[in-house]
Amino acid sequence: MKYEQLPQQDPEITDLVRQEIKRQQDGLVMIPSENHASVAVLEAMATVLSNKYAEGYPHKRYYTGNQYVDQVEQLAIDRAKALFKADHANVQPNAGSGANIAIYLATLKPGDKVMGMKLDQGGHLTHGHPVNLSGQLYNFVQYGVRQDTEIIDMNEIRDMAKKEKPKMIVTGATAYPRIFDFKAWKEIADEVGALLLADISHFVGLCISGDHPAPFPYADFVMTTTHKTLRGPRSAIILTQQEHAKAIDKAVFPGTQGGPLEHVIAAKAVCFAEAAKPEFINYAQQIVKNAKALAETLTDEGIRLVSGGTDIHLMLIDCNPLKISGRTGSNVLAEGGIYTNRNTIPYDPGSAFEPTGIRLGTPAITTRGMKEDQMKIIGTIIAKVLKNSTNEEIKKELNDTVTELANQFPLYPEMTI
């Protein structure tokens, strides 16, 4: 990928893009919601499709001149349906948060009762947090994990659902290292007459490879972002059973969005085609193998992981025993080039702003081709740094380790700006 006009026209932006490319190339991205999209995905976004207004849906637009964007969007829809074995796909949501709001708008009335996971135990803001529109417009009751196991207890969920009788149950999370058994959730939803939303934003790639249970045929609605384990552009889609198709389309446009980003929809089509290849299955399986190897190394080094480990692509380090905050831990790692994020852990003694956990995962470093051997190296140095967060020599060792790994597993070698 070669940039030509931008460097001449706007040296300030060019310089910042150049530095960001270098930051990604020279460091190890271990924030589990981030990834490195292919150059083909990035190129699809840098197209004239961005210029076109296409309010509406393929062959049902408000403006003229849609003969090509119609085909782009239809390809994205067809590929999404095939990839996820879904009756219906809406590929227009600009982001996961708006997509969840559109699903609520399609199915709920303000004040309706919904069950969603607590933010501080792994859920997403749009799963009913009071600062989010979801928590203000709807009557969310929130579930969490058991304090002793740090895992969701399906008996507790059933009891809560029976008591609360929600109209919808929201599953999926952003900081929960275990799986959602959608069949079991569906049984509970059916028992109480609730709709089931599977927000698979984080572990979507693992649903494709079979490392995480697939949401269909159990969920009524599936929402996923496309930029996390799916490795596409920063965006989202909604998949539904046929009976909800019309309501969802109306809720996305005109309910919550205007003109769709057809250049991003093109990039989503590219990423769906990539994810349908056997190589993607190998990739997603390696993400999990790497996460397990990393979790094992960290545990062997005496680090406590929430729930004792991981089944998926991410894990949470409990910083309490290390006598540091999540902020200090993630900052020290970032100074050495390993990017993670501070995060609450279940029953966190800290706050959302000053939590005691660090969330990290393997999607992006697996994209670079790293395997279990590299996870041992990375896990060992992370543990060493967190146990000695003020030791300059160990910080230097972290720097050297990251540089060596980054050079060994180059990222975007063809990119010049």
Ligand X SMILES: *Cc1c(COP(=O)(O)O)cnc(C)c1O
| Cα–Cα nearest to 86, from 262, 255, 224, 230 | 224
Q: Is 21 in the site for ligand X (CB under 6 A)?
A: no
Closest chain position to ligand X (CB):
96
Of 136 and 407, nearer to ligand X (C-beta) is: 136
Asked whether position 236 contacts ligand X by CB under 6 A, the answer is yes
3, 53, 339, 412: the catalytic one is: 53
Q: Which is nearer to ligand X, 33 or 286 (CB)?
A: 33
- Is 234 annotated in the active site? yes
Shortest distance (Å) from residue 217 CB to ligand X: 21
33 binds ligand X (CB under 6 A): yes
Which residue, among 327, 329, 334, has the nearest Cα to 298 in the 3D structure?
329
70-78, 92-100, 213-221, 273-281 -> range binding ligand X (CB under 6 A): 92-100
Asked whether position 118 contacts ligand X by CB under 6 A, the answer is no
Instruction: Single out the residue of 32, 96, 166, 232 in contact with ligand X (rule: CB under 6 A).
Output: 96
Phi, psi dihedral angles at 94 (to 5 degrees): -75, -25
For position 202 contacting ligand X by CB under 6 A, the verdict is yes
Q: Give the nearer residue to ligand X in terms of CB position, either 201 or 330.
A: 201
Q: Indicate if 53 belongs to the active site.
A: yes
Task: By CB under 6 A, tell whether 225 contacts ligand X.
Answer: yes
Which one of the spans 135-143, 172-180, 182-190, 214-222 is the region binding ligand X (CB under 6 A)?
Answer: 172-180
Q: How many residues does the chain have?
A: 417
Amino acid at 157: I
Nearer to ligand X, 34 or 153 (CB): 34
Residue type, 33: S
Nearer to ligand X, 88 or 202 (CB): 202
Q: How far is the CB of 172 from ligand X (least distance, A)?
A: 5
Candidate segments 52-60, 167-175, 322-330, 357-365, binder of ligand X by CB under 6 A: 167-175
Is 199 annotated as catalytic?
A: yes
Binds ligand X by CB under 6 A, chosen from 172, 177, 233, 329: 172
Compute the distance between CA of residue 355 and CA of residue 329 in angstroms, rounded to an integer: 11
Is 268 a residue of the active site?
A: no
Question: Under the criterion CB under 6 A, does residue 281 sit at the interface with ligand X?
Answer: no
Query: Rounded to whole angstroms, how far apart are CA atoms 207 and 93?
Result: 20
Strand 236-240 to strand 221-225: parallel, antiparallel, or no bridges (unpaired)? antiparallel
Closest distance between ligand X and the C-beta of residue 196, in Å? Answer: 15
Count residues contacting ligand X (CB under 6 A)? 15
Q: Among 91-99, 145-153, 240-248, 354-362, which window interacts with ligand X (CB under 6 A)?
A: 91-99
330 lines the binding site for ligand X (CB under 6 A): no
Torsion angle of C-alpha atoms 226, 228, 232, 235, degrees rounded to 10? 40
Site for ligand X in 304-323 (CB under 6 A): none
Q: Identify the active-site residue in 14, 18, 43, 55.
A: 55
| Binding-site member from 36, 61, 124, 212 for ligand X (CB under 6 A) | 124
Is 55 a known active-site residue? Answer: yes
State which of positions 370-409 bind ligand X (CB under 6 A).
none
For ligand X, the binding residue among 95, 133, 160, 377 (CB under 6 A) is 95
Nearer to ligand X, 45 or 236 (CB): 236
Catalytic residue status for 249:
no
Q: Which is nearer to ligand X, 6 or 131 (CB)?
A: 131
Applying CB under 6 A, among 199, 211, 249, 318 the residue interacting with ligand X is 199
- How far is residue 404 from each of residues 26, 31, 325, measured CA to CA in Å? 9, 20, 28
Measured between alpha carbons, how far is 34 from 19 in angstroms, rounded to an integer?
A: 18
Residues that bind ligand X (CB under 6 A): 33, 95-97, 100, 124, 126, 172-174, 199, 201-202, 225, 236
Q: Please identify every residue annotated as catalytic.
A: 53, 55, 199, 225, 228, 234
